[in-house]
Structure 1
Amino acid sequence: MGMEFPHSTENTPPPGRWRRLHERLVRRILPRSLLGRMLLIGFIPLLVTQGISLELFYGNYLQIVSRRLSGDMATTISLTLDMLERYPSPADRRWILDDVGRRAGLIMTLREGESLQRSGTNHVLGPIDDDLVRDLRGTVRWPTFVDWKQPHRRLVILVQLPEGVLQVVAPRKRLDVAPVWLFVAWASGSALLLFLIAAVFMRNQVRAIRRLARAAELFGLGRDTVPIVPDGAQEIRKAAISFNRMRDRINRFVEQRTTVLAGVSHDLRTPLTRLRLSLAMFPRTGMVRAESLQPDIADMIGDIVEMEHMIEGYLSFARGEGAEIPTVIRVEDMFEEIVTAMRRVGAHVAIRAVRPSELTITGRSNALRRVLSNVIENARRHADRIELSAERGRRQVILYVDDDGCGVEESRRESVFRPFESGEEGGTGLGLAIARDIIHAHGGHIGLETGPLGGARVRIVLPE
């Protein structure tokens, strides 16, 4: 018995790979836009229908008619030949040829003494020519030749007889049912017209979807717009109405949250203010005990100030910057304002480069200034020198904040943006969390990298 070896599968791609290749090929062939796919869905069935109708009409109906017309022509010639053979006298032959030609609409001439140089046909038109040659061979026992290259849309049929050549001149319309190009032009024109009409209607439907997508994108970026007007098909109208309701609910929730937080801020600051006022009015002279309490009073005032700072940070983190209206901001002007403000508190901040100098972004000015202030304040606790730079990306603006500090380990570059994670060395631990919350509200991204100054680099990506 021979041993059976398994087939090698080293060069056979796994089924998952074939599926991925198929999906990638389909994605490359199919249009990516909804309008293109809808038009393709409408155009392919229309094209297939026209092709089927063309094949059925010209491949079935016209072939039947062509065979019948060709058979009629061949039968007429065959009967004429039989009558010529039955009545061989010259007078009878002339009468037969004239009478048959007049009744059948043909011109028949007997050229005595001549012979055919070739047989068959000199031009192939398709089913019409094939059917005529086949019927002539089946009904006429003499050699024949069909000449299609005649002027005035005529054809000449030559039949070799013992006494000469019978010439039959017939109009081509006796065999042609209709021009093929006429039906093709009609089918193509009607398909194109229907396709254009469908494209206009589909474009209107897609325009409503694009308007809804644009409104959702602007709302996600914080660039709130007026409610969109429901338009298009019933499903698109329902989607637009649902989006408007969602937008109103979110705005109402943000407004209620801001109002509640404003009340909480007022309620928390009132007792702290009273405590601070009571400590300030506490007697500082006249008693030994009061003098011994002075350090404790100073510590309590410091705790109250820290509590106020922490409450302000918590409220700012929860409140966000949703009430501010987005505007066009010149990046270089914003950098200069931030540098001036941070230098007042002792930070060594400089602008390295802004490319191009007229670089602008659309966003909330105060919120973005707060992001840069929080990032610079966080870097100031770990570095001596800080540099700002900006550049234009692909439909986006990239801001950089570099420092010469010790940097951040790669394992902690994500966790430092969580609330209360970066407050071990002073602060509330909410600065970077607030910054990321504001950047995400603008539809951007913020992250940490290794900077060119040897420390950390904060990379902020914002849409234009």
Structure 2
Amino acid sequence: MAELIRQPDAIDRAGRFIRQILPKNLFARALIIIVAPVLLSQSILSFIFIDRHWELVTRRFCNAVAGDISYVIAELDIAPGADNTRMFVRARQSMQLDASYAPGAALPEPVEVRYPILERVLRTELTRVVGLPMTIDAASDADNIHLAFDLGEGVLRVSLPLKRITTSTNELLFFWMVGLSVLLLTVAILFLRNQIRPIVRLTEAAEAFGKGQPIGEFKPSGAREVRRAAAAFIAMRQRIERHLRQRTEMLAGISHDLRTPLTRMKLRLAMMGGGEDEAELTRDVEDLERMIEEFLAFARGQEGEQPAEVDVAALIGEAVGAANAGHRPTPVEMPALEPLTVTIRRQAVKRCLTNLIDNAQRHAGHVRVSMAVSDRWIEIVVDDDGPGIPDTRREDAFRPFVRLDAARNPTDGGVGLGLAIARDVARSHGGDIFLETGPMGGLRARIRLPV
């Protein structure tokens, strides 16, 4: 039972290790899908065909040489004073064997092995066919192999060309195999890069649209599936832009229609003789006008503002300076920040940050603003020591016109749009806002924006 439990754990660990070492981008993974089978097939071909083919051909060459040497030994006259010159000449001309006989000589000492496989096969065939003690010297001469056989009463020395027992077809086959593989892989890589490029362009367009940046000229290209995805993205972008445009136009009309009666009401109040009723009506009109302005600010978002290069540290300093201006009850602290330039909508991000700082000042005694930078994100953090927001109500705090009376003062004049506007700005830049329990005991608002 324990073995069955440990086996899935080992499989999971192996799977995690493979996922860690595999590349993350699509081009590299597709390249592996192409290259891996080619390398595997080439390796199998090299091992099964080339190695076996080379050894088989070498064995046959060595067997033929062993047969020729066996014939020379059989024809050799080792009697004292015998003349074997004619036989040696015939062996040289017909068999490419340069042979000589030394009566009374001893076998030379063995030398180092230069071609392990070749010498092993040659020794095996000579032992099987000739069956005499021998030495093989392939190291002293680059073009020839020197053999010596002990005939009992003397030593027969035989030299033969190395090319007689080797073949060049393996090198040619290997060259063509590798060259053709490199050529095909090059063509495949170029083709694959052209297929991946439309996906990369679609990704860049989607990221730019998510950050609220202009996309420029983007047209569907590539394979049919990629074109369909690009066309769907363009249609989605057009629907979203049309919705935002209609929302802005509708609210601009509402603003115009509401401002006209508000103006008439303010004029009539100014013509009244005064009194407690007039003061109450004036406050109601001012509250209604402020609610309309905040509602329009939420609805417009950052329409009309183009992204630009902005120093985020300087922008935070401006927001903190504005928060500390006048007779604000709670000053805002900010450490010295290094300059950091990114592409954002300046006024929109400043409005987002100002809303968060205003909320913190309204409900806390101490407020601190800081910034952290990583490879992918910029995080602007607003900490306070106020009552905070319960975990179960934090998501509700981002809903428009929702006021959390347990954590917010109902007489502060807000209408519940500050956090909604802030999150709308952050998400339109490809980021988000998170509410957490801060180290000062109150609420931490963390704005995350892409670098």
Determine if the TM-score, normalized by the shorter chain, exceeds 0.5.
yes
Conserved 8 A contact 1:338-1:373: yes
Q: Say whether residues 1:448 and 2:440 are aligned partners.
A: no
Which residue of structure 1 lines up, in the alignment, with residue 380 of structure 2? Answer: 399
Contact kept in structure 2, 1:222 and 1:322, CA below 8 Å: no
TM superposition shift of 1:46: 1.8
Question: SS of 1:150's equivalent?
Answer: coil
- 2:99 corresponds in structure 1 to 108
* Alignment-derived partner of residue 438 in structure 1: 425
Q: Which amino acid aligns with 1:211?
A: R
**2:445 corresponds to 1:458:** yes
Among 128, 135, 146, the residue aligned to 1:138:
128
Offset of 1:257 from its aligned partner? 1.9
Deviation track 1:274-332 (CA, whole Å, cap 9, x = no partner) reads 455455556x4xxxxxx9xx544543443333233323333332332233211223345
Please point out which of 60, 64, 84 is paired with 1:93: 84
Structure 1 residue 173 displacement after superposition: 0.9
Query: Could you say which residue in structure 2 is the equivalent of 1:167?
Result: 157
Mean CA deviation greater in 338-347 or 203-212: 338-347
Give the secondary-structure state (helix, strand or coil) at the position aligned to 1:321. Answer: coil
| 1:146–1:39 distance in 2 versus 1, CA, 3 Å | same
Alignment pair present for 1:33 and 2:25: yes
AA aligned opposite 1:378: N
Residue 143 of structure 2 corresponds to residue 153 of structure 1: yes
- Return 252-261 or 138-147, whichever deviates more: 138-147
Tell me the amino acid that sits aligned with residue 22 of structure 1.
Answer: A
Q: Deviations over 1:358-394 (max 9, x none)?
A: 3444322222232233223333432355454445444
Q: Match of 1:76, as an amino acid? A: D
Range 38-47 or range 187-196, more displaced:
187-196
2:346 alignment partner in structure 1: 365
SS in 1 for 2:23: coil
How far 1:352 sits from its partner (Å)? 2.9
Of residues 39, 50, 63 in structure 2, which corresponds to 1:71? Answer: 63
Task: Give distance in 2, aligned partners of 1:452 and 1:101.
Answer: 97
Contact 1:355-1:390 within 8 A present in 2 as well: no
Shifted more, 194-203 versus 54-63: the winner is 194-203
Alignment of 1:150-299 (within 5 A): 150-178=140-168, 184=174, 187-278=177-268, 284=273, 294-299=275-280
Residue 339 (structure 1) shift: 5.0
Tell which structure's C-alpha radius of gyration is larger: 1
Q: Distance between the aligned counterparts of 2:443 and 2:102, measured in 1?
A: 107
Please tell me whether the aligned partners of residues 351 and 389 of structure 1 are also in contact (alpha carbons under 8 angstroms).
Answer: no
Relative to structure 1, the CA distance from residue 132 to residue 20 in structure 2 (aligned partners, 3 Å threshold; closer, same or farther) is closer
Q: What TM-score results when the alignment is normalised by the length of structure 1?
A: 0.82
Where does the alignment leave 5 or more consecutive residues of structure 2 unmatched? Answer: none
Q: Distance in 2 between matches of 1:10 and 1:76?
A: 62
* RMSD over aligned Cα atoms: 3.4
SS at match of 2:76: helix
C-alpha deviation, 1:140, in angstroms: 1.9
After superposition, give the CA deviation of every residue in 1:118-138 in whole Å (9 maximum; x if it has no partner). Answer: 78x862624432332222222
1:65 partner amino acid: V
SS in 2 for 1:356: coil
User: Does 1:378 find its partner at 2:353?
Assistant: no
Which residue is equivalent to 1:415? 396
Q: Which amino acid aligns with 2:293?
A: E
Instruction: State whether residues 111 and 165 of structure 1, in contact with CA within 8 Å, keep that contact through their aligned partners in structure 2.
Output: yes
Provide Cα deviations, 1:153-195, integer angstroms capped at 9, x if missing partner.
1112222224422221111111111286665555445544544
TM-score, length basis structure 2: 0.84
1:389-435 deviation per Cα after TM superposition (whole angstroms, max 9, x unaligned): 44544443333334454444444444322333326414211211221
Q: Which amino acid aligns with 1:167?
A: R
Count of residues in Structure 1 that have an aligned counterpart in Structure 2 = 445
Change (3 A) 1:423 1:305: farther
Quote the offset at 1:148 in angstroms.
1.8
Offset at 1:25?
0.6
Q: Percent identity between the aligned chains?
A: 38
**Is it true that 1:326 corresponds to 2:316 in the alignment?**
no
Amino acid across the alignment from 1:151: D
Distance 1:170 1:360, change over 3 A: closer
CA distance in 2, matches of 1:94, 1:342: 115
Greater displacement, 384-393 / 255-264: 384-393
Deviations 1:78-118 (A, max 9, x none): 22222336x96966633222222222122121212223367
- The verdict on how the C-alpha distance between 1:147 and 1:344 changes in structure 2, with shifts beyond 3 A counting, is closer
Unaligned ranges ≥5, structure 1: 1-6, 285-290
Look up the match of 2:38. 46
- The match for 1:55 is 47
In structure 2, C-alpha distance between the alignment counterparts of 1:278 and 1:356, rounded to whole Å? 52
Letter in 1 for 2:337: P
SS in 1 for 2:118: helix
Asked if 1 retains the 8 angstrom alpha-carbon contact of 2:333 and 2:367, the reply is: no
Partner secondary structure for residue 99 of structure 1: helix
Larger mean CA deviation between 199-208 and 362-371 belongs to: 199-208
Give the Cα separation in 1 of the matches to 2:7 and 2:278.
Answer: 76
Give 1:288's aligned residue.
none
